[in-house]
Every structure is written in structure tokens, then in C-alpha cells.
Amino acid sequence: MDSGQVEVRSSKIPRHVAIIMDGNGRWAKQRNRPRFYGHRAGVEAVEEILQACTNAGVQVLTLFAFSSENWHRPSQEVQLLMDLFKSALSSRLDRLQEWNVRLRIIGDRNGLSEELRSEIAKAEALTATNKGITLVVAANYGGRWDITQAAKQVAVKVENKQMTSDSITPEVFAAHLSIADLPEPDLFIRTGGEQRVSNFLLWQLAYTEFYFTDILWPDFDKTAFAVAIETFLQRERRFGRTSDQVESFHRV
């Protein structure tokens, strides 16, 4: 992997970046091509941003590839997206290995085809012990689904008397969410001009810095990513404290 492209290496670099990759369809339309052409170009952007994140020292990159709501798209587009996801998983697996990437897929796997589920299991198993960046791909994922599945796990434990309702704290509850073992996102990026969360990591984004850009996802390259990181580095993260408290905390 080449280095030095993102010249923002610093200890304040976000540990976890979460991205909604929006704008593939419009990118294709601008070129008078079918929407799928944009999604294919989107996979190339994924590779570039994965590399940029690794070079910058980001530990976790989470990408929203397919939301619970994306099933409402025309069935042909849904099928093409699923096929693209499956083929990207198998064709890029060698590269993930070479780059030491640990792959995790989050979302409701029951909605995915048997073939895709097996491709996912293979890729996760093969990369499980890799020590580089963790790439989390959200597929058939929704923040509300995540909170609901966590609530069900907690309810079952209470029913089985493994815990009491009194012992449920935000921390205990959060331990049942997807990616509970990873740091929460420091930086959320959405490309494509819309400024909303669209049922992405609802719980996990509570203290995340938001960055929106009009750039369409296939055009979001390492330079655009470096601008997002620079913007993040200029933000003051207070986590509910006052500015003075944050300053004295940094002086300690």
C-alpha cells in the first residue's frame, strides 16, 4: 500500500469513520449510464477510501452498503446490488488479505441469499485474525433493527433470569448492539448532498462528528477524504462538557 497520500496523520485521527456512500445513481445519470454503472464505480471508491483510512491510521471503517429500506428499490437494482456485493467480496478477498484487513458484516443476514451468506462467512473467517484496519460493511442493516435485536437479547436474558431489569444500564444495553466491541464512530461522512442519518448507526452516532459533502460517492477520493479529516481535526469534541473543561483536560 502506498503511503503519505493523506498528510493528516495525528494522534487525534478518528479511530472509527462511518460513511453513507450516496450518489452512485446520480453519478451514472450524469454520464447517461444505468444506475448500476455508478454502483460499480462505487466499489472502486470503497477501495480508495479503505486505503486512505489505513494510511491515515484509522482503525475502523464502517460502510453503509445496503439498508433495510433499500429493498424498496426496483427489484432489478436490488438484485444487481446483491450480485455486486457478492462478486466484490470474492474478487477483492485477496486484496483484503494482502492489506491485512479484518472484514465484518453487520445487519440482518436472514434477508440475504444463501450464496451471499456463505461468501460473507468465508471472507469473515479468512480475515478474522488480520491485525490491520477493521472494515465493517452494513448490509441489510438498519439502526432501528440493531436496537430492536439488542432489546430482544436483553429481554431473553431477563426472562431467563440471567439478569434483572434493574441491571439494564446504557452500557449493559449497548453491549448487545452490533459492533459493541469496536470504538463508536468519531466521524460520520455522508456524500451525495443529503444531510440525514437514514437509519444508519442510530445509537452509536450519539457523540459522532458529522460531515456532509455534495461530492457523489464515486468521486469521493483520497483528497476529498483528507478534507473531511482536516475538518474533523478542527472540531472541538466536548462530550457534554464545557469548552474550559475540555481545554484543562487536554492540558493534563
Q: Is 85 in the site for ligand FPP (CB under 6 A)?
A: yes
Q: Say if residues 179 and 200 touch (Cβ distance below 8 Å).
A: no
Residue 65, classed as helix, strand or coil, is strand
Task: Provide, rounded to whole angstroms, the least separation between the CB of residue 40 and ligand FPP.
Answer: 8
Subset of 193-252 contacting ligand FPP (CB under 6 A): none
Q: Which of 34, 37, 80, 84 binds ligand FPP (CB under 6 A)?
A: 84
The answer to whether residue 100 is catalytic is no
Q: CA 30 to CA 216: how far, in whole Å?
A: 11
Active-site entry in 2, 22, 146, 214: 22
Q: Which of 25, 107, 143, 185 binds ligand FPP (CB under 6 A)?
A: 25
Residues tagged in the binding site annotation for substrate: 23-27, 35, 39, 67-69, 71, 73, 190, 196-198
Residues 6+ apart with CB under 8 A from 30: 216
The answer to whether residue 160 is catalytic is no
Q: Say if residues 10 and 16 touch (Cβ distance below 8 Å).
A: no
Q: Say if residues 14 and 234 touch (Cβ distance below 8 Å).
A: no
Strand-pairing partners, residue 211, are 189
Q: How many residues bind ligand FPP (CB under 6 A)?
A: 19
Q: Which is nearer to ligand FPP, 81 or 187 (CB)?
A: 81
Active-site entry in 2, 32, 55, 70: 70
CA-CA-CA-CA torsion sign (53, 94, 107, 147): negative
Q: CA 42 to CA 5: how far, in whole Å?
A: 20
CA-CA-CA-CA torsion sign (97, 99, 100, 103): negative
- In the numeric block, the cell 428499490 is attached to 73
Q: Is 83 in the site for ligand FPP (CB under 6 A)?
A: no
Q: Which stretch binds ligand FPP (CB under 6 A): 36-44, 102-110, 114-122, 165-173?
A: 36-44
Q: CA 43 to CA 131: how far, in whole Å?
A: 23
Q: Say if residues 177 and 146 touch (Cβ distance below 8 Å).
A: yes
Q: Treating both helix axes as pointing N-terminal to C-terminal, what angle do 35-56 and 75-91 enclose, rounded to 10 degrees?
A: 40
Q: Which is nearer to ligand FPP, 7 or 194 (CB)?
A: 194
Subset of 163-202 contacting ligand FPP (CB under 6 A): 192
Q: Which is nearer to ligand FPP, 154 or 215 (CB)?
A: 215
Question: Which residue lies nearest ligand FPP, judged by its C-beta?
Answer: 25
Q: Is 107 in the site for ligand FPP (CB under 6 A)?
A: no
Q: Which of 53, 61, 65, 105 binds ligand FPP (CB under 6 A)?
A: 65
State the catalytic residues: 22, 70
Binding site for ligand FPP (CB under 6 A): 21-26, 39, 42-43, 46, 63, 65, 70, 81, 84-85, 88, 137, 192
